[in-house]
Structure 1
Amino acid sequence: MPLRGGLEWLRARDPGLRAVRRSARVTLVACTGFYVARYGLGNHVAAIYALFGAIASGGMSFVPGTPRERARTLLAVLPAAAALVTLGTVLGVHSWTAALGMLGVGFLVSFAGVGAPRLGGLAGGLQALYILACFPPYAPATLGARLAGLATGMVLMAAAEMWLVPAPPPGRYADRLARAAAVASRTLRALAAESRSPPFDSRERLITASQELRMSRVPDDERPTSASARHRALCQGATYMRHLLAQTWQLAQEARDTPGTRDPAAARLLQASATACHGVALGLSGRGPAPSDAPYTAGAADFEAHRIRLPIWRANSAAVVRGGAIALDIAHTGTFLVTAVRIALGAPVPADTTPPAERPGPFWYAGRPTLSLYARRLQTHLTPRSVYFQNAVRIALALSAARLIVGALDLGHGLWALLATITVMGTSATGTRTALWPAFGGTLAGAAVVAVMLYFVADHVAVYAVVLPPLYLLAFSAGPVLGMGWNQAFSTIAAAAAFAQLGPAQPGLAAVRFTDVVIGGVTGALVGLLAWPQGGTGELRRACSRLLDQSTRSVTEIIDTIAGDGTAGDAPARARLAQLIAEASYAQYATERGDPDPAHPADKDWMAILLAGNRVITMGQNLLDHCPPGVLAAWPLSAAHLRDAAHRLRLTALPLMYDLRSRKPCRAPVEPPAPDVPTEHAVIADVCAASDGRAPDPMSYYAVDAAIWLASLQRLVTAISPSTEGRTAAQG
């Protein structure tokens, strides 16, 4: 029974035993290569590089993907690893040349992961290989043995990823999107049945499906964060899906409150939307072909032609008009969703018809090769405003400074100083402080054990050989299960046991190791605290604040344009630029491992902010394309309601923008006046009254569409405002 309880405890801390499996693979490969080279071939150099080759590519790296994909990645990066070992061997002749090389390697290896999560996950391991090679002894004649040991460790590690207790393949973000599409399809199909309301739990399922698409709810190895068109399309498709779910939630709420008010044409449109969502679910799950937007486009055209001919005279006409407008919004959103899903599945999509003045279009990346998109992301982040750039510079400066200090002090085991620097470097000051004290405490505890071990075991090599595998097994699994301090303690003991088999064990090794870690840790901490301590969240906050600012300004100017009081000017263009910057910031934020959102529910729903910006751009441009300037002046009451709603949206966003910039809620937030009647209801009532029992002017329906648009934006921004921090409204 104690054994069962221990397994349950371990599974609770390590779901699927992923860390234990990974630890077993790395330990077996590292020790096998080390023992074969050390005792079978008698080559100490090859032994240490076989050991570090496995540790760098398995223990110090995080490569997302399936076992086969991880194996391919390790084999593909082997030439780069060999180049780094060669460079470190050559530049190790002097401390200053090794430090200059460390500066370049530290930056390039870190920055290269900007659009490739697998390469970014290998950054620490690749840097460790250069670090190992650039330390004394300076022995270029041993380069062949170094490369042979490295190749042995990495090739065995690649084979182990596939065949040795392989980890279960990670979940797919596409499956989350498919499940959300299936939920939307079922609910829309129920809503299309005029005689009954959707199932009782439909609204709860819609909320759950929307929340599961948030990146903060997605495991690290499942997030679509690369620069490829597929990953971009999945992220964009999730944004459209969340809006589709939110509007479906609105219809489900209305069906509960006012059943039996569905227009037959709107019901047919909802049925077409349900069919298209079902196709999305089948395509993403691999059970069907790529979806088609034909149901959406045909249903939307039929509905628009129908609603402008429909006389308005019944008592429930307002509910019919509102439900139809929301159904049309769902269909338009679904068209964008299908295009994104087709890109993700590699299916052809129509050519971009976005006018040059309105580019880049929403799917500018479609059809572009991955290498081109990766180069574009590299270019985009080659700026001090990019956290990728900031972090690469910080790591390069810290490692280079640590290498100079180690050389100046002539530390015999200075390798551990630079490894400690890598350990404590985070993307923010908080991350650095969090890593620093466990690193020191764990190393101190491990050093104490090493001192005792070296005193009692002395030069009995067989004892070190026996304890090495269990020590590394504990070292690689202790971090995820128990914390960094335990990882540092067991790593310190394991490293001492490994090096004790290559030469005489010195009694003072424990103190030397602790001194090295203190030097490396302090150097990394100082550089980490002084250089750009905000991390990915800080840049994302600024970008999202800018997006909300430009988007709400654009909404106001668009409404003024169609209401006859102004002109949009370059407002949509500014909003599009802010959207691109925010999307790039969100992509880099999503690559940071261990997002705190589940444990800290007060963190913002970043995807909802991107959704708001996306809705401003797509729907706002649609209104400008179809509504001549001043067209709504013929309905002054509706125009006034729309202007008030746009102003209220701006006021709602102001405290959120302040909160994002300052990291603290606004002390005196602007409270926008709540309308006596919701905007969409007031505008619809005006349209119904103006029709006087006749079919209304077709242009008046654009006032209805604009009201539905503003209402959805108001709900979305209200859900993530400081006053509601810590929750996301059901419809958002």
Structure 2
Amino acid sequence: MTRRFSRAGSAFPPLREFTRTVRAAIPQLRFSDPGLAALRSAARAAVVMPAVFAFADKVIGNPQTATFAAFGSFAMLVLVDFTGPIRSRFLAYLGLAAAGAVNIALGTLCSRNAWVAAAAMAVVGFAILFSGAINGYFAAAGTSALLTFILPVTISAPFSEVPARLEGWGLAAAAGICAHMLLWPTRPRAGLRRDAAKAAGALAEVLEAELGGDREAIPSREQVAREAVAGLRRSYLTAPHRPSGPIGPTAAAASLVDELDWLKSFLVPGPAFSSLALGREENVEALAATASVLQASAATLAGRDARPDFPRLDAARDAVAEYEIARISESPASLDDDVLGSALEPTFRIRAVSYSARQVAGYALVASGKPAPELDDLDVAGGDFAIRPARAAVKATERLATEHAGGGSVWLRNSLRGAAGLAVAVFIAQRTGLQHSFWVVLGTLSVLRSNALGTGWSVLTALAGTAVGILIGAGLVIAIGTHEAVLWGVLPAAVLLAAYAPRAISFAAGQAGFTVVLFILFNIIQPVGWRVGVVRIEDVAIGFAISLGVGLLFWPRGAAALLRENLAAAYGRSADYVVATTREIIDEADPGSSAALGQTAATALHRLDDAFRQYLAERSATSMNLEEVGGLVAGAARIRRAAQSLSVLGRMTGDDARLTRCGANLDDEIYALRSWYVTLGDSFLHSTAIPPPHIRDTQGRARLLECVRAAVSGDGANARSALVLLWANQHLDALWRLESHLGRLAAQASTPAEAEPA
């Protein structure tokens, strides 16, 4: 059996990567900066950073202030660029400025003793890196925040220097915030919301074609809808940080991805399914209300003023259910296989898409910052947030921290590895008395990867970039000599290169640009000529060696192994949740008794998302099977969403008696489904055979029908509970059909990709 998600191609991936990089170099220079966003950001840094440094160096005249003003400007202008609404970005920059001030004071306090400095680096490094799991802004600010501690803790100084250092950082932070807000400001990007609006609109157009009877337009609109939902899922999974803050808009935006994918699975299920039975007035009204709500959701996500008509949708959905209840109670003898299957399936799908559209609309409102009192209690985006936002934020943050406290969390592993590497680097730099010891730590930070191979390749590219930067910088210094005015004239161009290269060209080019900036800065502050380059390459080489050693020690296999573990866990926990919610429908269990399993399934899916992002980020990850692996990640989310829908369906019974005796006929099917999904997860984890779809329990299905027919005969008092059981069986049918799809994806994902020609 081939190993799941293996690295494809030659036996020496770095060589293949190098040849690929060389071939792609010229196209990258041309096309890797869409919209010139990287160029605008680099130009902003090239204008502001030299100006701040000049003011600190020439007007204030304190070397500590000048150093922290220069590197603080780099941290504020180059290493971070927050996105989102203007107010959120402004508050994020203010928060980074405050955190940086605390880090500088603490780092200076700890800088006089190597052991204390290393211990403080470990604690602060872990806290900064792990906080990224809680909020996307924390993750985006991680490198800048780390720099504000690395610099003071590695440049030893008495605590009396703190005011001068804070003065430099204050200048840098103030200038950086003003530049970000006023000088070529980043336009608020709502990429995920834009893609969600496109997907919601495309799904609404499918319904409108169904309602209009335009049979020729339906196939093309279904294809557009599939592509729009797939594009939304791809944007979500390939984002560097999962847009899932603990509460409110970010959590709602993340929930939209799963909800729209779930809605699509029922609205566009495939050619084998019948249309949505438009003949009855109840069905037509329900689909019309659903289309209207989806169009309003798309408008809301696109920034327009629209309000979904929830009362109309709820009334229409209830009317569909009441019609089915009346039909069952009035003519139980008609409950044959046709009703259980093809006749009941369209109304089941209508209920599913109408309820899912309601959820989409609620998430769209919250994601857009609008109140949504109509949200169901089940929704993760609502709850206490509208009433007690501070309390809800604390509770949700605690929950997220708990989610990532286990060994299966990418955030925990990355944070531990990063904290250990930085602490070791600080200790070695302090004990060896290197001339510019913070370069050792910066070298460690810049190339840490999730596995030893990725780190090793980063070391090669970083050293190559540093060497090129040294050649360029040394050439400039030799040519310029001691002409300080010329060095000041070259500095903006060097900053422009250092800020632009890593985003638009390559990691190695960024290392080269940063090295040139350091050459010029240190020859302005303390002229030492070309020898500063020799010191830098010695120090960063030590830092690279530390990062490689830490990668081998903490995570030699990288994210591929963790991805397999998290896939297995997500499928297993989501299947458990399906069993629990189905048992709530069958038994007299209290509604919500499955809540703990639901939270466990959500935790497993969050970890799976993060592991997949790490897998994508690794330089050794292949691009050949990413679509299939992404489909498997989405499949786990779909199972959990089925369990949530079953939980809501169980509430429809109300105070009516459960048909426990009838529901017992679903037991074998429920546990056969669970067994299949758990076995699928084990096949990822242990590279065993992918299981074929399980054999349906046809006898249990026949007994269920016979029992329901007997239960509703007479006065039809149990008709509502009977409908709930029959619709629950439809959910199980959908999960059985999903098995074939996931099996094909797993088989394709397990096939090693072909090596690219050299």
Name the TM-score class by shorter chain.
0.7 to 0.9
Match of 1:146 among 147, 151, 165: 165
**Separation in 2, partners of 1:628, 1:476:** 67
Equivalent pair of 1:550/1:575 in contact (CA under 8 Å): yes
1:638-670 per-residue CA deviation (whole Å, 9 max, x = no partner) reads x4xx566545534542453024434x4x3x332
* Shift, 1:204, TM fit: 0.5
Q: Work out whether 1:444 is the aligned partner of 2:467.
A: yes
1:357 maps to none
Residues 554-563 or 428-437, more deviating = 554-563
Structure 1 residues 536 and 29: alpha-carbon distance in aligned structure 2, compared to 1, 3 A threshold: farther
Q: Work out whether 1:545 is the aligned partner of 2:545.
A: no
Aligned residues: 707
Equivalent pair of 2:56/2:66 in contact (CA under 8 Å): yes
2:195 maps to 176
**Separation in 2, partners of 1:242, 1:31:** 49
Q: Residue 524 of structure 2: SS of its match in structure 1?
A: coil
Residues 501-510 or 485-494, more deviating = 501-510
The correspondence of residues 524-543 of structure 1 with structure 2, limited to 5 A, is 524-532=547-555, 541-543=564-566
Q: Residue 582 of structure 1: SS of its match in structure 2?
A: helix
Match of 2:526 among 503, 509, 529: 503
Match of 1:378 among 391, 401, 412: 401
Q: Work out whether 1:656 is the aligned partner of 2:680.
A: yes
**Separation in 2, partners of 1:681, 1:162:** 67
**Separation in 2, partners of 1:681, 1:493:** 77
Match of 2:253 among 204, 209, 234: 234
Equivalent pair of 2:263/2:356 in contact (CA under 8 Å): yes
* Shift, 1:513, TM fit: 0.9
Q: Work out whether 1:610 is the aligned partner of 2:637.
A: yes
**Separation in 1, partners of 2:28, 2:126:** 40
**Separation in 2, partners of 1:41, 1:698:** 80
Match of 1:713 among 735, 738, 751: 735
**Separation in 1, partners of 2:585, 2:282:** 27
1:99 maps to 118
1:367-425 per-residue CA deviation (whole Å, 9 max, x = no partner) reads 35254233442354345553323322222221111111112221101111111111012
Q: Which amino acid aligns with 1:701?
A: L
Equivalent pair of 1:475/1:490 in contact (CA under 8 Å): yes
1:730 maps to none
Equivalent pair of 2:408/2:607 in contact (CA under 8 Å): no
Residues 104-113 or 187-196, more deviating = 187-196
Q: Which amino acid aligns with 2:444?
A: T
Residues 365-374 or 207-216, more deviating = 365-374
1:462-501 per-residue CA deviation (whole Å, 9 max, x = no partner) reads 3322222212211221112221111112211221111011
1:318-374 per-residue CA deviation (whole Å, 9 max, x = no partner) reads 6443212211222233333344344444414269767xxxxx989556435254233
TM-score (norm 1): 0.84
2:536 maps to 513
1:619 maps to 646
Equivalent pair of 1:170/1:221 in contact (CA under 8 Å): no
Structure 2 portions without partners, runs of 5+: 1-24, 750-758
* Shift, 1:298, TM fit: 0.6
Q: Which amino acid aligns with 2:437?
A: G
* Shift, 1:242, TM fit: 1.5
Match of 1:580 among 598, 602, 605: 602
Q: Work out whether 1:54 is the aligned partner of 2:78.
A: no
2:348 maps to 325
Q: Which amino acid aligns with 1:333?
A: S
* Shift, 1:193, TM fit: 4.3
1:26 maps to 45
1:411 maps to 434
Structure 1 portions without partners, runs of 5+: 1-5, 355-359, 728-732
Q: Residue 597 of structure 2: SS of its match in structure 1?
A: helix
Structure 1 residues 578 and 124: alpha-carbon distance in aligned structure 2, compared to 1, 3 A threshold: same
Match of 2:96 among 66, 73, 77: 77
Q: Which amino acid aligns with 1:409?
A: T
Q: Which amino acid aligns with 2:642?
A: R
Q: Residue 443 of structure 2: SS of its match in structure 1?
A: helix
RMSD between superposed Cα atoms in Å: 4.2
Structure 1 residues 134 and 612: alpha-carbon distance in aligned structure 2, compared to 1, 3 A threshold: same
Structure having greater relative contact order (Cα 8 Å, sep ≥ 6): 2
Structure 1 residues 230 and 716: alpha-carbon distance in aligned structure 2, compared to 1, 3 A threshold: farther
1:86-124 per-residue CA deviation (whole Å, 9 max, x = no partner) reads 222232223333223222221222223331221222221
**Separation in 1, partners of 2:74, 2:584:** 62
Q: Residue 305 of structure 2: SS of its match in structure 1?
A: coil
Q: Which amino acid aligns with 2:425?
A: A
**Separation in 1, partners of 2:642, 2:305:** 29
1:118 maps to 137
**Separation in 1, partners of 2:366, 2:84:** 20
* Shift, 1:523, TM fit: 0.9
Residues 197-206 or 150-159, more deviating = 197-206
**Separation in 2, partners of 1:36, 1:722:** 63
Structure 1 residues 27 and 435: alpha-carbon distance in aligned structure 2, compared to 1, 3 A threshold: same
Equivalent pair of 2:662/2:704 in contact (CA under 8 Å): no
The correspondence of residues 438-477 of structure 1 with structure 2, limited to 5 A, is 438-477=461-500
Match of 2:297 among 274, 280, 299: 280
**Separation in 2, partners of 1:137, 1:353:** 54
Equivalent pair of 1:680/1:711 in contact (CA under 8 Å): no
Q: Work out whether 1:303 is the aligned partner of 2:326.
A: no
2:225 maps to 206
Residues 91-100 or 67-76, more deviating = 67-76
Q: Residue 322 of structure 2: SS of its match in structure 1?
A: helix
Q: Work out whether 1:601 is the aligned partner of 2:627.
A: yes
Q: Residue 190 of structure 2: SS of its match in structure 1?
A: coil
Equivalent pair of 2:260/2:360 in contact (CA under 8 Å): yes
1:347 maps to 371
